[in-house]
Amino acid sequence: MTATVPSSLPGRGNRDGAELFRRWFAELDEVAARGGPAAYVFVMGSLNEVLKTFDLPVVFPEINSLQTAVRRVAHEYLAVAEDHGYSPDICGYVKADVATQLRGGQHPMGRIPKPALSVLTNACNTYVKWAEIWERMHHTPMVTIDVPGTRQGGDRTARGDGDFEADRRYVETQVLELIALCEKLTGKRFDIDRFREVLTHANTMSRCWARLLELNRARPAVMNALTDGTIYLGVANGFRGSAEGARYFEDLVEEMEYKVAQGIGTSTEERYRLIFVGVPCYPIFRRFNELFTDWGGVFVNSTYLWFASGGANRGFQYDLANPIASLAEGLLVSVRDAMDSMFHQDLVVAEMYRDCQADGVIYHPIKSCRTVSTGLADGRRHLTERHGIPSLFIESDMMDRRVVSEAQMKNRIDAFFEGLGSRRRHGGAGVTN
Amino acid sequence: MTMRAVFPEWRDKSLDEALLECRELVESPDYLPVARWREQGGKVGGHFQVYFPEEIIHAAGMLPVKLRGAPHEPSRAESHFGSYLCSILKTSLELALSGKVELDLFVSHPICDAARNLAAIWGRNFTYPCQILYLPQNPNSSGSIPWLRHEYDRVRRTVEAVAGRPVGDDDLRRSVAVFNTNRRLLREVYQIKRDTPWLLAAEDAYALTALAGMLPREEHNDLLATLLPRIRARQTRPEDRSRVVFEGGFCEQPPFDLIRMLGRSVYLVDDDLLIGLRWIRDDVALDGDPLHNLAFAYCEQSSYSPVQHDLRKPKEAMILDRVRAARADAVILAAAKMCEPGLEEQVTYVRALEEAGVAHFVTEFEENMTSFEQLTLQLETFTENLLFT
């Protein structure tokens, strides 16, 4: 299909995303230089909505750490932390961050400021252990927000249900306590109008995030959930609740709607539509993706885009008339969804597979993240037995190149695609590698 | 329904023979009392490490069972997991997949990134309710106790459905009273370890404690109430051994033989082995709302572990308190292989002990390890150093 393409539109999201990222890190560098305060937060429940109301710059150590892997220096950082006593068997993100702290904030993208406080949810236990390290190292407060998740697979509570209301009230109490702490730390009063403004931007971003995932059901897929998706995730997290973030995502939706209308895919030849489950292999990020795209494989969706966006896939819209209670509800609903897309990933993947008309599922459990990885083998067994969905199971890491074997991966991936090809030719049963 | 004793073997035996029976039961991977309970028509609620309010299951007339892994090969469970995981997850699931432990309910709580997946995994493989109990990681919030009270009520409703009978407040109060007795008796076990460790071998103390996780509590209370006075009456003489704290047994358990080996080299005067059974340090109040009292006790009357965050209980301070209270000379800082919270906390503990000038020995273990030669040698060297410095 030939179309008249405004030269500035396709690819704009990636270009603008990279520019926003550079600007974000430049600002952090400036904060570090003047010794200004920063809040350390995480992708699953960043509480950016509260922190931005107090104009606190946010640092996402998960993003900092993955940047060291993408920039191929993670091993240097891991070595510093391991020399400090941390085991090779714990989360690589934690270790890269410990090394960053020990190096006075030195990072490939600029200097990272010290935390004035850290805010985390219980969506990942390592968040808690990680923040305890900062608490000891910098003697600054950490605030853990308990966000109770789904208690039993497929059994979610909803607004109006007594158990849901108890959870929501608990989250609201904790949000109010966080606000009180921020007032104390910054010396600023909580400005409800500013808060509503931040929520408005967050609403735009969540709405656009959900729309983006919906648009990628198109054939051909308009974005690669693994590579493009990681750029969008960075902006979704770092700029949540900001005017730039909202504008970026409105532009991104415009770009993707245009590409859908024009039939412009992210890949020149989309032969296999894939679902990615787990965390990307950042030490060989580009090559990892090529191992699939070389076969015409395109990642059309991923659980990563769900959980690492903090559940923004739900598109939750805050009620500006009742902002704090609504933030609590949104946090509960969204973070719970993020957890579900890890622990009950079998339900999520079956849904994605159907909605995206996918051809196969790639499971990528990693050494560093047991939150995401522990249930994948069992979930995959279940998915295979119940739905006969073709899948591939490859293990490596998101940080530690010592456990990344590209040759072994390639063998398995090649065999998987050969099986998919054979299945397509013969209309046969599932492929499981 | 009146149930027969599920562990009668220790009765009418000498103290040494009774302790031998206890050790053999704990060392066995079969959880035999659970099968005996079920043979009599009893229902079983299994819960994974670390802490669970067992009173709620007990109040429904069910047997609460602490799933703490087992020394067996997880041949069925292995294919349900990937690499880089601790052993206890696999061996615990193996207990259920193999049919050694048949449950009517399974509950885990998110103690770590791996274990928080367990309820979902279990739920994909069994038809009975498999749930997560969220325990507060923010016990410093004013909302945590009221919320936990509600969460315990949710568990109560689940248990009622499984048991097929209501669980009233009076049922709960009776159970709390039984467990208060149990907590007092377990505190006595640890008092003996601290004050007169030569009277109670490390492996015997461990066996007596671990049995709480698989026996009806009334039966366990009877066992301890009978044996503890006989242990106190022993005429064993103290030896010139180092007094050592073992830290790192809050979830996966070291092999029984490792505990035995440690007990032969040093006096193990305190530890965090199966800390969930001793999580609540005092009696839980009996008057008022029993679920509130349990929730209050979890947050306000509790011990510490690497898997609970509480601003009032910095782990580096807590371990030093434990060392001082036990008048220990040294600490063995262990962690189960691939245990993320344990391995992370080791770094903190090492720093704290170094700053306080407390000797320590850092190691890793796995519940299924069978060879201890190297570890024994290292430990002997460590303890010799303690004696001669």
What pLDDT score was predicted for residue A4? 55
Give this prediction's pTM.
0.96
Which pLDDT band holds residue A426 (cuts at 50, 70, 90)? confident
What pLDDT score was predicted for residue A163? 97
Q: Pick the residue of B86, B117, B151 with the most A CBs within 10 A to test the interface with A by mutation.
A: B117
Which pLDDT band holds residue A6 (cuts at 50, 70, 90)? low
The per-residue pLDDT for range A272-290, each reduced to its tens digit, is 999 999 999 999 999 999 9
Identify the residue whose tokens are 């460590």. Answer: B382
The per-residue pLDDT for range A63-82, each reduced to its tens digit, is 999 999 999 999 999 999 99
pLDDT of A3 > 60? The answer is no
Which pLDDT band holds residue B385 (cuts at 50, 70, 90)? confident
What pLDDT score was predicted for residue A430? 55
Query: Which residue in A98, A51, A103, A50 sits closest to A78, CA to CA?
Result: A98
What pLDDT score was predicted for residue B386? 84
What pLDDT score was predicted for residue B373? 85
Q: Pick the residue of A44, A83, A87, A349 with the most B CBs within 10 A to test the interface with B by mutation.
A: A87
Report A:99-128 residues touching B (Cβ under 8 A): 122, 124-126, 128
Mean pLDDT along residues A335-350: 96
Q: Is B127 on the interface with A (CB under 8 A)?
A: no
pLDDT of A433 > 80? The answer is no
pLDDT of A2 > 50? The answer is no
Identify the residue whose tokens are 């670390």. Answer: B50
Please list every residue in chain B whose beta carbon sits closer than 8 Å to the beta carbon of residue A84.
347
What pLDDT score was predicted for residue A7? 67
Mean pLDDT along residues B59-86: 96
Q: How far is B123 from chain A (nearest CA, A)?
A: 7
Mean pLDDT along residues B101-119: 97
Interface A-B, measured as beta-carbon pairs within 8 A, has a size of 166
The per-residue pLDDT for range B287-326, each reduced to its tens digit, is 999 999 999 999 999 999 999 999 999 999 999 999 999 9
CB atoms within 10 A of CB B188: 17
pLDDT of B1 > 90? The answer is no
- Residue A231, class by beta-carbon neighbours within 10 Å (0-12 exposed, 13-18 middle, 19+ buried)? buried
Which of A144, A146, A343 is closest, CB to CB, to B120? A343
What pLDDT score was predicted for residue B150? 98
pLDDT of A429 > 60? The answer is no
Amino acid at B290: P
Q: Is A181 on the interface with B (CB under 8 A)?
A: no
CA distance B84 to A373: 9
What pLDDT score was predicted for residue B158? 98
The per-residue pLDDT for range A102-133, each reduced to its tens digit, is 999 999 999 999 999 999 999 999 999 999 99
pLDDT of A1 > 50? The answer is no
CA distance A95 to B326: 33
Q: Is B282 on the interface with A (CB under 8 A)?
A: no
* Tally of CA atoms within 13 A in the half-sphere of A174 that contains its CB: 34
Identify the residue whose tokens are 């510490």. Answer: B304
Share above pLDDT 70 across residues of chain B, in percent, rounded to a whole number: 99
Nearest CA in chain B to A171: B143
Which of A172, A371, A381 is closest, CB to CB, to B116? A371
Contact of B44 with B37, CB cutoff 8 Å: yes
**How big is the CA angle at B39 (ends B33 and B43), to the nearest 5 degrees?**
80
What pLDDT score was predicted for residue B388? 75
Contact of A211 with A31, CB cutoff 8 Å: no
Buried b or exposed e, range A19-40, using 16+ CB within 10 angstroms:
ebbeebbeebbebbeeeebbbb
CA distance B88 to B114: 10
Q: Is B132 on the interface with A (CB under 8 A)?
A: yes
The per-residue pLDDT for range A292-322, each reduced to its tens digit, is 999 999 999 999 999 999 999 999 999 999 9
CA distance A131 to B245: 27
ipTM score of complex: 0.96
Mean pLDDT along residues A324-350: 97
Structure tokens at B2: 């009146």
Long-range residue pairs from B161-168, CB within 8 A, at least 24 positions apart, any chain: B161/B129, B162/B43, B162/B45, B162/B60, B162/B62, B162/B104, B162/B105, B162/B128, B162/B129, B163/B43, B163/B60, B163/B61, B163/B62, B165/B60, B165/B61, B167/B56, B167/B59, B167/B60
Please list every residue in chain A whose beta carbon sits closer than 8 Å to the beta carbon of residue B105.
none
Which pLDDT band holds residue A241 (cuts at 50, 70, 90)? very high
Amino acid at B99: G
Report A:329-388 residues touching B (Cβ under 8 A): 342-344, 346, 365, 367, 369-371, 373-379, 381-382
The per-residue pLDDT for range A96-109, each reduced to its tens digit, is 999 999 999 999 99
Query: Which residue in A143, A161, A146, A151 sits closest to B144, CA to CA?
Result: A146
Please list every residue in chain A whose beta carbon sits closer than 8 Å to the beta carbon of residue B142.
173, 177
What pLDDT score was predicted for residue A5? 56
The per-residue pLDDT for range A223-239, each reduced to its tens digit, is 999 999 999 999 999 99
pLDDT of A383 > 50? The answer is yes
Angle between helices A285-293 and A227-238 (to 10 degrees): 140
CA distance B269 to B195: 8
What pLDDT score was predicted for residue A8? 78
The per-residue pLDDT for range A138-164, each reduced to its tens digit, is 999 999 999 999 999 989 999 999 999
- Residue B184, class by beta-carbon neighbours within 10 Å (0-12 exposed, 13-18 middle, 19+ buried)? middle
Cβ of B132 within 8 Å of Cβ of A152? The answer is yes
In what side-by-side order are the strands of the sheet with B105-108? B63-67, B44-48, B105-108, B130-132
Cβ of A146 within 8 Å of Cβ of B138? The answer is yes
Q: What is the mean pLDDT of chain B?
A: 96
Q: Is A91 on the interface with B (CB under 8 A)?
A: yes
Higher pLDDT, B93 or B265: B93
Q: Is B121 on the interface with A (CB under 8 A)?
A: yes
Which of B120, B131, B143 is closest, CB to CB, to A375? B120
Distances (CA, A) of B113 to A91, B118, B358: 10, 10, 31
Structure tokens at A295: 């076969």
**How big is the CA angle at A376 (ends A371 and A380), to the nearest 5 degrees?**
160
- Backbone region of residue B31 per phi and psi (left: phi > 0; alpha: psi in -120 to 50; beta: other values): left
What pLDDT score was predicted for residue B339? 97
Query: Which residue in B141, B221, B199, B145 sits closest to A142, CA to CA?
Result: B141
What pLDDT score was predicted for residue B383? 84
